[in-house]
A = this chain, B = another copy of it.
Amino acid sequence: MLNPADAEFAARLGALGLEAVPAGAAYLEEPRGRLAGVAGLLVRPRTVEEVAALLRACSAARVGVVPYGGGTGLVGGQVLTEGSAPVTLSLERMAALRAVDPVGNVAIVEAGMTLQAVQEAAAEVGRVFPLTLASQGSARIGGCLATNAGGVNVLRYGNARDLCLGLEAVLADGTILRGLKRLRKDNTGYDLRGLLVGSEGTLGVITAASLRLFPRPAAEGTAMLAVASPAAALELLALAEARMAGCVSAFELIHRQGLAFLEEVMPKVRQPFVTRREWSVLIEVGLPEGIDPQVALAGLFEAGAKRGLVCDGVIAQGAAQRAAFWRLRESLPEANRRIGSISSHDISVPLSDLPAFIDRAGPALAALGDMRVNCFGHVGDGNLHYNVFPAKGRSRAEYEHLRGPIKACVHGIVDAFGGSVSAEHGVGRIKRADLERYADPGKLAAMRAIKAALDPLGILNPGAVIG
């Protein structure tokens, strides 16, 4: 039903002062190499008015638009895989820091700034923008917001939606939403900010955002603690939160398999324990003045050991060791990539069901075949990256026929626990069928009604999230 973004359309855009060039290969790929985009036009506007003019033109001509951030998304939201050639709308030229206000703890940033640039802009005025992802050097803040990105600090600071006070965005018909409010509280009307954040470019194009900044905690500390089990990890988290009054910034679960993968393919990454433990957690705290974080973490270790939750541990002595712990954590996805998973799952379950999920999923997968599971992630949020790999010495190809059954097995158990089959990566194109299968029918109906209301021609990111 949509028309192609062809040479004639490029000429029409040119007449509007919008430069359109053929979209190069870099814009038609995604990091896991599973999808290839239909080649169309690339437009890189410099202002919100140019975005509006582009969307008006695309609406008039019924041409599809794929909003494009840093291209780091893991669910194919950034590449159109079938249908008429689209316009890829890259925000890379809208990358200005419009304002930063350390008194109000707000930054106003354009969508094309990388996440890292936003973090640096905050740091320059002595503040923290806490969204932290492995891909932060290339992920752009517009994409982080469009996908409601998560990462390691959600436990304390929330996800991208929680960090966003307001948006400037353009709707499908070219209407500009000017909502760059710097307010902590504003109850004048519907939460369009929250609706656009996480809509993956299907309801509007985010061009700028006002973001929450935070004071840097007076003192920070990090520890790796070996725990008896996932249930022990949860009890330790509860203990930590009770003792630390919400000052736990990160609480990451690591499984022995992940450390074994590191040793196998990234042997230079230093590992904390001499004896490799089955389960460990990486905990980070950011505390008020008057407490030494090493003392606080030592106190947590002792209290955890007394309850039989913790059996070993290393508290980072200084910044270098803290960085080393985080390097280890951040190397886990890269080691996974080098080993090569059969199937990866970005899932969440209610916190209290997390041990039961792990207990049930392991045997269910073992019944399907001989495989290795690396289960790690943001346990403080109930969010696991539950990734399945070939047995040692065997290849992914041997398991190709199991990919579907593995995914159905994991997602089925997640669903039985009332969990989510996409905790932080979004739906994109790769998880559309999962959304249809597992989402509440009432929710799907409401989503379709909203999509039809805000994008009646279906030009925004066609084929992503919802049909």
Contacts and interface: CB of A to CB of B under 8 A. Distances in A.
A245 B185 CA distance: 21
Nearest to A239: B215
Interface string A212-249: 00111111000000000000001000100111111100
A199 B450 CA distance: 15
Chain A contact patch, size range: 35 or more
A348 B184 CA distance: 8
Nearest to A421: B188
A247 B291 CA distance: 13
A443 B189 contact: yes
Contacts of A238: 102-103, 215
A438 interface: yes
Contact of A351 (B103, B188, B218, B244): B103
Interface stretch (A78-86, A90-98, A171-179, A257-265): A171-179
A286 interface: yes
A150 to B, nearest CB: 6
A272 to B, nearest CB: 24
Contacts of A434: 188
A192 B444 CA distance: 10
B350 A192 contact: no
A253 to B, nearest CB: 14
Given A218-B245, A446-B454, A150 B439 contact: no
Nearest to A188: B422
Interface in A53-101: 101
A159 interface: yes
Interface stretch (A1-9, A19-27, A314-322, A424-432): A424-432
Interface stretch (A273-281, A304-312, A376-384): A376-384
A434 B188 CA distance: 9
A440 B178 contact: yes
A454 B451 CA distance: 11
Interface in A170-203: 171, 175-179, 181-192, 194-195, 197-199, 203
Interface of A: 101-106, 147-148, 150, 154-156, 158-159, 161-162, 171, 175-179, 181-192, 194-195, 197-199, 203, 214-219, 234, 238, 241-247, 286-291, 295-296, 299, 348-353, 378, 380-383, 418-427, 431, 434-435, 438-440, 442-447, 449-450, 452-454, 465-466
Given A185-B348, A194-B194, 20 more contacts: A102-B238, A104-B350, A105-B351, A154-B184, A155-B184, A161-B191, A171-B442, A187-B198, A187-B424, A189-B427, A189-B443, A191-B199, A192-B446, A195-B450, A214-B246, A215-B241, A218-B243, A245-B286, A289-B299, A290-B291
